Chain A
């Protein structure tokens, strides 16, 4: 076994891999030649157990393209928070009970804590950080401010993303529609009254004449 190669294996990490592209949220698409260099990262170190199998995926997050190597059991939430540093999406229950980690995947709301990153390959993802455009808040975000629809703010990103998903498919929801669409999101502070007001207001502001 060639020692230098082994050493490289030991030091090459996912973080290093990302760092190669400037770290943090990198927008540029990765060229195949760069990826080819990472084959070593797919191998496990001698004497160490292969805990995960790895796979390369490409995904678009908030209109920026990323290509990265993910592990088979890695969740989309983990990729967003720990690798792309998009910490607006929250981990609350860790198993799809509370909606705090909701993101849009090809326009549909998903619990990112339950969604494997490998399944997000070639998908288009929008997180809370991607809703405002050119510094202007999305109408739902503005409505949450106008209607005081948050308290501690921890569940707020999930609620806003779920609300955006609702209004994208149903621009004029009834009271029952709103209750139903947002019942997968939990707010412990008990802000549902004001969240309801905000979503109602946003539905009016986004309604086409």
Chain B
């Protein structure tokens, strides 16, 4: 499968839907001025949405209401990444209204046009530009209406703060509300109107109040699990102890004796439902069930060999020149392997859904990154037309790719239908760890060579299941080849590469690739006798990359020397889908305990035009903080289909006490359209810390996470055998 297919859309569709055209859809909205527009590669999206029932020539719109408030309707969702603010800023800027006049209506399938889902740091990058154009179009409509209203020509008018006023006499003016009153105007954005030059911006590019702030600090913000409906039942579902374990027999008699308990058995699903969550929990505990053992015999110590053994034939992601010719030019050659384990999304909010069914209509509240996908699935499962299923996305408590899939939504829908009551399914933390679509374990093998002038002359890159994003070399390498033997997706289970589901995880593919590439660059830099910064600059022709490297080095305030210097300094850089960044870190390694403490991280990022500077800094800081986890501790331990990590006691995610000093540099590049920023900075963390550890103690770690056990093992051997051709990898035993 292609790596960039974030959602593996199978051709599951709702039953035949009545199709609405644009006019009919917008008719449902009431009065005001409406501008509809298209985002992204609409044609490609349409191929996937056949039968969804939505109009196909636009996928977002904005409305100037008769009260002068501006609403933007989009199927995107807010999960902490801040687009509820950055998109509103872009809209407010072009329409010349204050930010607090803008309402973002997001992720509601009844109100919003179809959308593929929210992932891949794409919202600001792809949604922003057409949104600006639509807002500029709306502004033009306002000026046109004002010209009629004020009996003057459009050239005499300008817009300011929700008003149209005469340029020469600003006392003569009319508000957007007055202009929209009693009107019903619908425009579809066809041509691209002129938008403001960034130098004229007063809202975009400036710090902004976030509209979700008050709700989130007072506890008023509703997440799916906070939805309470009359008569609602809480459902708990019997789960197998291991992936691939089939139910042998079950005895629900003890659970049945609980007052008012409802037990539902529907094919493979056995659920207990009660109006109190804790009673449902207890009832589940009373079910006696026996399962066949899983057929999976894999665990953390065998997985890497398994991945290599089951790999399909490699396919070229990119290639140039001739590897043999490159090898002929090399005076030094290198061959290393890099390994990364499964990690969990571990969102704060567990997967949750509430489903209410009335007649042939269903209303759904779900923690999801893809409400329209959920709508299609529910329609199929219930046998309803898609338009009879309304999915409402309340606030979502983290996603990181883990909520692209929504099996809990389907479970709630089935149970709501069978029980005849509204049903809430909220996974426990244990279920969350069990059914997560993990970032896949992966192996990268790199062969490379340096010329006598320390140019990288060949690069032969073999990627087993990391996913190909960020695997293309951005250094100037004349002879290179990148082969992929399988991507990051997959449902898991029988016959699959992975024993459980895997999928997109913040910066999919890239975390593993950048760890391998940028570690390997340091391996070569040392052999070249050069410092890691100088070696990178020596092998780069991309000025944007050089600029972020220099910006990070300047902020870090240190001129490198050849590693290992004993100082514990590391550097890494990357290009993530058009966002460039360089990260530097300072670590402290305790050789006795094997613990790595990260003291300082500097990240310089060029994300194109910046819409919300604090929002961008927050995403970089979040990436760095979250990234510490997969570098140092996070590793899903599993054995024979069982997931051994069930909670945060053994699966350690970054805590406050780990917090290094983090400094961010936003490298100015306003001429370039805004790029994504929710993921890029997490992808360089593995390499920057591995490189800093090497600089500190002269020992390189080739396996993530860099746990104390692995560090001590590597110290003991003075080299980590996992980096050699020999693939027997020392891993901690599973308790």
A residues 65-119 in Cβ contact with B at 8 Å: 71, 73-75, 78, 82, 85-95, 97-98, 100
Known A93-B429, A129-B218; contact A71-B259, beta-carbon cutoff 8 A:
no
A residues 42-71 in Cβ contact with B at 8 Å: 44-45, 47-49, 51-52, 71
Q: What's the minimum C-beta distance from B676 to chain A, rounded to whole angstroms?
A: 16
Contacts of B621 in A (CB 8 A): 190-194
**CB-nearest residue of chain B to A157:** B219
Contact in complex: A191, B216 (CB < 8 Å): no
Contact in complex: A13, B260 (CB < 8 Å): yes
Known A97-B649, A151-B80, A152-B397; contact A92-B429, beta-carbon cutoff 8 A:
yes
Contact in complex: A73, B282 (CB < 8 Å): yes
Contact in complex: A193, B210 (CB < 8 Å): no
CA of A133 to CA of B460 in the docked complex: distance in angstroms?
A: 64
B residues 13-61 in Cβ contact with A at 8 Å: none
Question: Cβ of B692 < 8 Å from any Cβ of A?
Answer: no
Contact in complex: B654, A153 (CB < 8 Å): no
CA of A157 to CA of B217 in the docked complex: distance in angstroms?
A: 6
CA of A197 to CA of B172 in the docked complex: distance in angstroms?
A: 46
Contact in complex: B618, A151 (CB < 8 Å): yes
Contact in complex: A75, B278 (CB < 8 Å): yes
Question: Cβ of B698 < 8 Å from any Cβ of A?
Answer: no
Question: Cβ of A186 < 8 Å from any Cβ of B?
Answer: yes
Contact in complex: A179, B657 (CB < 8 Å): yes
Question: Cβ of A182 < 8 Å from any Cβ of B?
Answer: yes
**CB-nearest residue of chain A to B212:** A153
Q: What's the minimum C-beta distance from A189 to chain B, rounded to whole angstroms?
A: 5
CA of A194 to CA of B347 in the docked complex: distance in angstroms?
A: 19
Number of interface residues of A (CB under 8 A): 68
Contact in complex: B656, A185 (CB < 8 Å): yes
Contacts of B662 in A (CB 8 A): 193
Contact in complex: A154, B349 (CB < 8 Å): yes
Known A88-B219, A88-B220; contact A148-B618, beta-carbon cutoff 8 A:
yes
**CB-nearest residue of chain A to B623:** A190
Question: Cβ of A123 < 8 Å from any Cβ of B?
Answer: no
Contact in complex: B80, A153 (CB < 8 Å): yes
Contacts of B618 in A (CB 8 A): 148, 151, 191, 194
Q: What's the minimum C-beta distance from A90 to chain B, rounded to whole angstroms?
A: 7
Q: What's the minimum C-beta distance from B612 to chain A, rounded to whole angstroms?
A: 9
Number of interface residues of B (CB under 8 A): 64
Contact in complex: B656, A92 (CB < 8 Å): no
Contacts of B395 in A (CB 8 A): 152-154
A residues 1-40 in Cβ contact with B at 8 Å: 10, 13-15
B residues 218-266 in Cβ contact with A at 8 Å: 218-223, 225-226, 228, 254, 257-260
Per-position 1/0 for B174-217, Cβ under 8 A of A: 00000000000000000000000000000000000110111111
Question: Cβ of A165 < 8 Å from any Cβ of B?
Answer: no
Contact in complex: B624, A190 (CB < 8 Å): yes
CA of A160 to CA of B82 in the docked complex: distance in angstroms?
A: 20
Contacts of A160 in B (CB 8 A): 217
Question: Cβ of B357 < 8 Å from any Cβ of A?
Answer: no
Contact in complex: A137, B625 (CB < 8 Å): no
Per-position 1/0 for A161-193, Cβ under 8 A of B: 000000000000000001110110111111111
Contact in complex: A182, B656 (CB < 8 Å): yes
**11 new A-B pairs (CB below 8 Å) besides A51-B259, A73-B282, A141-B218?**
A10-B260, A95-B647, A142-B217, A150-B213, A150-B217, A151-B398, A152-B396, A179-B659, A190-B625, A190-B626, A192-B654
Binding site for B on A (CB under 8 A): 10, 13-15, 44-45, 47-49, 51-52, 71, 73-75, 78, 82, 85-95, 97-98, 100, 127-129, 131-132, 137, 141-142, 144-145, 148, 150-157, 160, 178-180, 182-183, 185-196
Residue contacts A-B, CB under 8 angstroms, 27 given: A13-B275, A48-B258, A51-B258, A87-B228, A88-B218, A90-B223, A90-B225, A90-B348, A90-B397, A92-B349, A94-B647, A95-B647, A141-B218, A145-B210, A151-B81, A151-B82, A152-B397, A153-B395, A154-B349, A154-B395, A156-B216, A183-B657, A188-B348, A188-B626, A189-B622, A190-B625, A191-B622
